Amino acid sequence: MSGANFLQLHTLDVPRGRRVSWLVERVRTALRDGRVEPGTRVPPTRALAEELGVARGTVVEAYRRLTEEGLLTANRGGGTVVSASPPPPTAFRSREPRAEPDLLDISTGTPDLSAFPRAAWLRAEEGVLSGSDGRALTYAPAQGTLALRTELSSWLARSRGVLAPPDRIIVTGGVTGALALLARVLHDRGRGTVAVEDPGAEGNRRILAHWSTPTVPVRVDQEGLVVHELAASGARTALVTPAHQFPTGVVLSPARRRALLTWAVERDGLVVEDDYDAEYRYDRRPVRALHSMAPERVAHVSSLSKTLGPGLRLGWLVAPSDLHDDLVRARWGTDLGSPVLPQLALAELLRSGALERHLRTMRTRHRRRRDTAVRAVAEHLPGAVVEGVAAGIHLLVLLPEHVDDAVLAERAREEGIRVEPLSSLRAVPGPPGVVVSYGTHPPARLAAAIAVLGGLLRRP
C-alpha cells in the first residue's frame, strides 16, 4: 500500500519537531475512519518516509508508538500490519453545571461574600501556621480537630442551645457532608426512607437520592411540617428545617415541635434538623434548636455556608449517641476528615469572638438587603405576597395564580437573571412563586433584578 493512499495526503507541511505526533494522529484517524482494515499491511517505513519527505526515523518512531498502543503489530514474516482500530474519541462532557457568569443570580442562597472577614481569617491562619508544631499540616482526628470541636461545643450551646461535649461533635463537609454520612449509616441500619418537606430543599433531596435513600414528601403548611401526614408516611426519619423552613420561611410552631418529637419517640424515629441559616433572625432572638429539646431523637446539622461562605465546606453534626460511632467511622472512611488548616482558623475565629462580630455585621447588611428586596417586590410585582421575611437570607414571593413560575424563571434567564421557581421545589403542585435570595448582591443590583421580574410579569 502506498503511503499517499494510506494517509490520503501528498505533501507534508508540519514543523519538524511535531512530525511524529502528527503522523501518529493521521494513522489513528485512518484506522478509526475504517479506511484501513485490521490485518492490512502498512507501508514500509523507508517508503512512507520518502513519500512524505520526512526522515525515516520519524516514521519508525510513529510506528513504535502505534505498536505500543496496540494499533499496529510487527508481522512475523516481516513488515507491520494493522492490529486493531482505535475506539472512537470519547466526547468528554463536563458534568459541572454550565457556568453562566453573566447571569445575575438571585437563586443561590449565599451570604454577602464581599463581607467575608478576610483580615481576621488571614491572621488566624497565619497564627496557626507560625506555630512550630506543624499541627495544621498533619493528620487530625477524622471527627475534626479537638480545637474546633471544643470551640463549636461552646458556640453551639451559646447560639443554638445545643448541648454537646466536643467528643460528640463531628466536623463535616457542610450540611451536605453531614446528610451523606447520615444517609449511609441509616441505610446500613435498614432505615432508609427519609421524609422530606414539601416544598423543600432540592439540594438535600438530591444528595439523599445520590446515596440511594428513598424520600417521601410531606406537606408544609403555615405551622411547618404537617406531622400527622408524616406519621402516615411510614418513614422513620424526617429531615426538617425547623428554624426557618426552606423555602417557605415558616418557623415550626411550638405545637408542631412537640408533635414532631412525640412522633420520633413513638416511632422510634429520628429527626434530622437542618439548621442551615438559623443565625439570621431579624425580629427577635433565634428560636432554640430542636436538638435542645430531645438530643437523643434529633441529629443537628449546620454549616458555615450562610455565615462565612459555602466554599469553605465546613459544617458539623451532633447525632444521638447510638448513631455517633458509626457516623465517625463513616467520616473516617470517606476521606479521613476535613482539611485541618481551615478548621483551626475557624476555631480561632470562634475563640476570639471574631465570628460573632462578623455575624452582627452580616445581620445588619442582610437586613438592609432584605428590606430592599421587600420594597422592590411591592413596587414591581403587584399582587405578589412575600413570606418568610423574619429570618434567613431568602424570601418566598408567592405570585398570582395564573403565573407559570417555571416559564417566568426561564424568561428571566433570557434576561440575564437566575431565579428559583417554587414549582421546582415542590413534589405536589401548588401555588406559583419564586425564591429570592437577597444575601448575595448589593441592594441596587438586587432591586434591578426584581424590577426585571416585574417587567416580565407585565409582558403578555
Binding site for ligand PLP (CB under 6 A): 109, 174-176, 201, 203-204, 241, 246, 274, 276, 303, 305, 310, 315
Residue 241 Cβ vs ligand PLP, minimum distance, rounded to whole Å: 5
SS3 per-residue string spanning 293-311: HCCCCEEEEEECCCCCCHH
Q: Name the amino acid, one letter, at 63.
A: Y
Residue 72 main-chain phi, psi, to 5 deg? -120, 155
Q: Measure the CA–CA gap between 76 and 50, rounded to whole angstroms.
A: 24
Q: Measure the CA–CA gap between 286 and 403, rounded to whole angstroms.
A: 34
Residue 108 Cβ vs ligand PLP, minimum distance, rounded to whole Å: 7
Q: Which is nearer to ligand PLP, 128 or 207 (CB)?
A: 207
Angle at which helix 174-188 crosses helix 321-335, to 10 degrees, equals 110
Q: Where are the beta strands (DSSP E) in 236-391?
A: 237-240, 270-274, 298-303, 315-318, 385-387
Q: Which is nearer to ligand PLP, 205 or 380 (CB)?
A: 205
> How does strand 298-303 pair with strand 270-274?
parallel
Residues 6 or more apart whose CB falls under 8 angstroms from that of 329 comprise none
- Respond yes or no on whether the N-terminal peptide bond of residue 199 is cis (omega within 30° of 0): yes
Q: Look up cell 405570585; give the residue.
A: 399
From residue 243, give the alpha-carbon distance in Å to each of 160, 240, 290.
10, 9, 8
Q: Which is nearer to ligand PLP, 80 or 302 (CB)?
A: 302
Q: Which is nearer to ligand PLP, 140 or 181 (CB)?
A: 181
**3-class DSSP assignment, residue 341:** helix
Q: Measure the CA–CA gap between 57 and 50, rounded to whole angstroms.
A: 11
Q: Which is nearer to ligand PLP, 174 or 432 (CB)?
A: 174
Residue 388 Cβ vs ligand PLP, minimum distance, rounded to whole Å: 12
Q: Which is nearer to ligand PLP, 27 or 175 (CB)?
A: 175
Q: Which is nearer to ligand PLP, 51 or 197 (CB)?
A: 197
Residue 422 Cβ vs ligand PLP, minimum distance, rounded to whole Å: 14
Q: Which is nearer to ligand PLP, 42 or 419 (CB)?
A: 419
Residue 173 Cβ vs ligand PLP, minimum distance, rounded to whole Å: 7
Residue 177 Cβ vs ligand PLP, minimum distance, rounded to whole Å: 7
Q: Which is nearer to ligand PLP, 149 or 394 (CB)?
A: 394
Give the other-Cβ count within 10 Å of 131's Cβ: 10
Q: Which is nearer to ligand PLP, 208 or 235 (CB)?
A: 208
Residue 40 Cβ vs ligand PLP, minimum distance, rounded to whole Å: 56
Residue 7 Cβ vs ligand PLP, minimum distance, rounded to whole Å: 54
Q: Measure the CA–CA gap between 49 and 56, rounded to whole angstroms.
A: 5
Contact 208, 196 (CB under 8 A): yes
SS3 per-residue string spanning 108-165: CCCCCHHHCCHHHHHHHHHHHHHCCCCCCCCCCCCCCCHHHHHHHHHHHHHHHCCCCC
**Closest residue by beta carbon to ligand PLP:** 174
Q: Which is nearer to ligand PLP, 156 or 403 (CB)?
A: 156
Residue 179 Cβ vs ligand PLP, minimum distance, rounded to whole Å: 8
Nearest-5° angle of CA 257, CA 297, CA 191?
A: 115
Residue 203 Cβ vs ligand PLP, minimum distance, rounded to whole Å: 6
Please name which of 400, 360, 408 lies closest in space to residue 382, comparing C-alpha atoms: 400
Residue 350 Cβ vs ligand PLP, minimum distance, rounded to whole Å: 17
DSSP 407-459: HHHHHHHHTTEE-EEGGGG-SS----EEEEE-SSS-HHHHHHHHHHHHHHHH-
